[in-house]
A and B are shown apart, each in its own frame.
Chain A
Amino acid sequence: ETGVTQSPTHLIKTRGQQVTLRCSSQSGHNTVSWYQQALGQGPQFIFQYYREEENGRGNFPPRFSGLQFPNYSSELNVNALELDDSALYLCASSWGQGEAFFGQGTRLTVV
């Protein structure tokens, strides 16, 4: 148990729809990072939030956006879903740039 919880655990969406994934960070952690892990691949960095501001972004299009709230929980929003967005989405929380603890992930399937 890492103290990082993600919801929902599984989700099926239709191409073109929008989705919101949620992450509650471990108590005391002020930094949240989101990763996309396609089947058989390593995680790919999407973006990171520190104290409610985005402070790093990977090679993902603008339809991937996020938020971090005052309690440091976070959301990942994906608009105009494509079939290739099907993946496990992982959230990791940390205190600044310290050790990152991962949640169990949300499995998104786009059909």
Chain B
Amino acid sequence: GEDVEQSLFLSVREGDSSVINCTYTDSSSTYLYWYKQEPGAGLQLLTYIFSNMDMKQDQRLTVLLNKKDKHLSLRIADTQTGDSAIYFCAEKISAGNNRKLIWGLGTSLAVNP
């Protein structure tokens, strides 16, 4: 089946690290993505990881992928109030010529000063 699950809410203090977790079910995923959505705005691609990688680091963002457990996480170091948003995990799956993104419901991150 095609399903992506995330916890719905996360609250952290400014300066702390945030860790947002995601699990997926389709083992044929090729890429896994993290998108950020601020209120009333579209989706902004934060980072992505190819399915044969374990880790990717990009400035304050670290993505960890455990393919065996189908678990993906996004760590934001030194979280700032501007990081408050909804974070979506998405997996790209392919079935023949049909390629699509399957999305989680999103994790709402609240950063408290």
Chain A positions near chain B (C-beta within 8 angstroms): 2, 33, 35, 40-45, 48, 55-58, 90, 92, 97, 99-105
Contact = CB atoms under 8 A, between A and B. Distances in A.
10 contacts: A33-B101, A42-B105, A43-B43, A43-B101, A43-B103, A56-B100, A99-B45, A100-B101, A102-B43, A102-B45
Contact of A100 (B45, B88, B105): B45
A55 B96 CA distance: 10
B59 interface: no
A56 B45 CA distance: 22
B85 to A, nearest CB: 14
Interface string B85-105: 000101010100111111111
B26 to A, nearest CB: 13
6 tightest A-B contacts by CB?
Answer: A42-B103, A56-B98, A104-B42, A102-B43, A45-B100, A102-B42
B99 A56 contact: yes
Point out which of B4, B97, B104 has the most chain A C-beta atoms below 10 A from its C-beta. B97
B97 A55 contact: yes
Contacts, number: 54
A42 B104 contact: yes
A55 B41 CA distance: 27
B101 A58 contact: no
A42 to B, nearest CB: 4
A86 B12 CA distance: 32
Contacts of A2: 42
Nearest to B48: A99
Interface string B10-28: 0000000000000000000
B94 to A, nearest CB: 8
Contacts of A44: 103
B66 to A, nearest CB: 21
Nearest to B45: A99
Point out which of A2, A41, A42, A48 has the most chain B C-beta atoms below 10 A from its C-beta. A42
Interface in B54-113: 88, 90, 92, 94, 97-106
